[in-house]
Amino acid sequence: MVDPGERVTTTLQREFLEEALNSLEMTTRQKEESESQLKDLFKGGVEVYSGYVDDPRNTDNSWMETVAYNFHQDDLLGVLYSMRLHAGDDAKAAKWQDMSSSLNLYASHEHMIEKVAQRHKAHW
């Protein structure tokens, strides 16, 4: 979730560090190195979707809204390829996943992933 006064891209980087790299268990030095490596990647994000999403927690008086960004890296030697994913914070697992229309995704996520595939002219 976005903290009060925090930019969405800052939240995304923080959440990636916490949930996909387990930064909460890193030393200060390891965390600073990871943040430095990801800095440029997270500057170049493209907003894919912003707004209401279907969610079982929605009610007549409250509902979920989300902002989805695509951070794309073509370079096989890029920072993401050198990082080992490790679930942390409240994440159950972390892994790289090939995109496919047959994935069983939560709520409105399929539409967002499809937009990313179209943006990169990838098979869907």
pLDDT at 93 over 90: yes
Give 114's pLDDT tier (boundaries 50, 70, 90): very high
pLDDT at 21 over 90: yes
Residue 3, domain member (yes or no) = no
Residue 68, domain member (yes or no) = yes
77: CATH:
3.90.79.10
| Calpha distance 60→9 (Å, rounded) | 29
pLDDT at 80 over 90: no
Tell me the pTM.
0.81
Out of 15-24, 31-40, 88-97, the most confident range is 15-24
DSSP 3-state assignment of 94? coil
* One-letter amino acid for residue 77 of the chain: L
Q: Answer yes or no: are the C-beta atoms of 55 and 64 closer than 8 Å.
A: yes
Mean of the per-residue pLDDT values for the chain? 91
Residue 95, domain member (yes or no) = yes
Give 76's pLDDT tier (boundaries 50, 70, 90): low
> What is the per-residue pLDDT for 95?
92
Residue 1, domain member (yes or no) = no
pLDDT at 120 over 90: yes
Q: Answer yes or no: are the C-beta atoms of 115 and 48 closer than 8 Å.
A: yes
- Full domain range(s) for residue 104: 8-119
| Calpha distance 11→84 (Å, rounded) | 20
Residue 124, domain member (yes or no) = no
> What is the per-residue pLDDT for 77?
58
Give 94's pLDDT tier (boundaries 50, 70, 90): very high
